Every structure is written in C-alpha cells, then in structure tokens.
Structure 1
Amino acid sequence: MKHKILPLLAALLTALTLTGCSFSDIMLYLYGGDDFVKKTDTRDFQTYAGENGITVVYDANQWNMPTMAQDDTISITSGNKLDYTAVLIQVCDTYTDFLAQSGEELNQETNTVAYELELTVPDARTSAVRYDCGSYQAIFVQIDYDSATTVYVSAASRAANYDPIIELLQGVSPTEP
C-alpha cells in the first residue's frame, strides 16, 4: 500500500508546483483560509480619501479596500487567517504620549520586547516603536505632518515582514482642502 501512495503523492506535488500553488496556498485551502485568491504581483495603487481628513494610497494587490472603522479612524487589512495584518489610522484623539501609553497597555496584556523603528513619511516627523509579541508584531506610530495634522497609527500583524506596513504609511497624508 505504501508503494502505491508515494507515486500518487509525488504526482500531486508535481501538479501543484506546475500550477503555481505554493505550500502556504495549500495550507490556506486545507485549513479554511479566507481570501484564497492569489493576487497578482503587479502593483495596483488606489487612493482612499477618508472622512477623517486623511488620504491613503495603497496597493490593492497587497491591501483590502480601507473602511472608516469609526468617525476618526481608517481601517485597512491584508492577508488571511495564517498571515494577517490590520492597521488603524486615527486623527482625532490627543494623547499625552501615544507610544508610551500604547506600549504600557500592550505590556499589561502580554510580555513584549520593544524595538525602535525607523520610518520616514514625506513632509512629516515620525516616531515609531515595534513590539515583538510572540506570534505577532505590534507597531505604534505617531506622524506629525508639517501641516499641523497628527496621525496615530496602531498596527498588528501575524506576518513576519512588517515592511508592507511601513510602505503603506508612506502613502498616508492629510487630505488637501
């Protein structure tokens, strides 16, 4: 019996590689991953003007269409059940020290390791910190634009690579009047 299964398994794996399916695609299919549609590798930049005065330029092949999670907050997500990222972009609340307060609240829930995060956004000053929280990462960013608008960003990701979050934030800006 063992000898009959091995050639069948080898043929199945060969067929899957020829169709372009990756191991993660197979795992998503087997374990009920959502968004089991491979997006193209080309970039498809879209613009979303939020009702909170913030515009987000995002790659539609990387991110789902943003929504207004609350009156002052844009929400944008990417990924699936195995590799998920959520970003909240908020403008209305004023924090005494957003990064410290967010880190303190996160540490009350789980043990974390903090890392300074270098991030540049056009026409703005940024301060950012990344927390390693075991199976996911949390990123908190304060963006102070030259136009006197301050944006607070909270991001959580199960993905190992946080570069897409940084790239997304470089496309965030105050909406021009």
Structure 2
Amino acid sequence: MSKHQRVGYKRVSTVDQNTGRQLDGIELDRVFEDKASGKDTHRPALQEAIKYVRDGDTLVVHSMDRLARNTEDLLRLVRELNAKHVSVEFVKERLTFSGSAADPMAELMMTMLAGFAQFERSMIRERQREGIAVAKEKGVYKGGKAKLTAEQVASMRARVAAGDAKAVVARDFGISRETLYQYLKAALQNG
C-alpha cells in the first residue's frame, strides 16, 4: 500500500516574483509551481498537480488566493479534489477541507464560501446591468448587432435540417456553435 503524499502547489503572479516564502519549512513529497496571474485560467502546474494527487493525499497551498481566481473557482477546485478523496490544506488560513461530513467547521466554511461565490456573481451581474444602463443613457450602448440576415438564417436552418454537421455550418457562416444553437432555438420558439 502506497504512502499518502503531501503535495504542494505554489503560484506567483509574474515571473519576477519568488515562490520561496510560500510553503517554506513545510515537509512535502512533491511541489508543483505556476508563474501565472490569478485571473489566468491556464495554470499547467495546477492541472498537473490535480492529475497527480491520489486518494488519501493532501494538496497543500500557502493561501486560498494562490489556488483560485475567485470564490467560485475555489469551490470548484476544492470540491473536485475532495471528490477524489484528496484533502486541501490552506496554510495561511489554517483550514483543511477533506470533504468529510465529520468536520463540521470545514462544512460551515464551504457553505459560507458557496454563499460568497453566489454573492460575487450577483454583484458582477449588478455592475454589468448598471454599466449597460449608464451606457444606454449616454447613447453609447447599442447592444450586439445581428450577425446573420434572415436569408442566411433560413439557409443555415436548411443545412442543419439536411444533416450538415453543426460545427461545419457554424464555421461556414463565421459564427460560433453556441450562436448557431441560439439561432436554431430562436427559430423554434418563433414557429
């Protein structure tokens, strides 16, 4: 039976910063390190660490802001790791999330984090609505312009109905598949 490992993850915002102080003096079996902005979704060392850890391991991170871009990202990562039976330990906050219902304090913290994530999303949507309202008042906001004419939409629908691959149709019309689906959905709703 293999020994459970303590795996460290470090992230610094730019290549100029040093990760030396993060996890300093903590005994770890392996360390993964990213040099990327917190907003950057491309964190290859984090993805590698997530693939590396196994049932019973602990991922050790200096602080919550080193692991995640925002509260929602933090919740997703902790839940993903806990689902693999991997504990996540945050040194600065002195918190460990194991996913075990036997730890009521960790459960409470996860519930609070979920509430903060929901609040964060609401605040972002509210700021967007306010910004759009101000821009409309100034006559600056015009909304998105239609990408396709009625004839193009009819042609696109006909091709999809004939069995053409949606990805190919979307590419031919210079739109994303998501936009194609929105056009098809709108066409269904309008009869």
Q: Which has the higher contact order (CA 8 A, sep 6+)?
A: 1
TM-score by length of 1: 0.23
Bigger Rg, which one: 2
TM-score by length of 2: 0.22
Which structure has greater strand proportion? 1
Which structure has greater helix proportion? 2
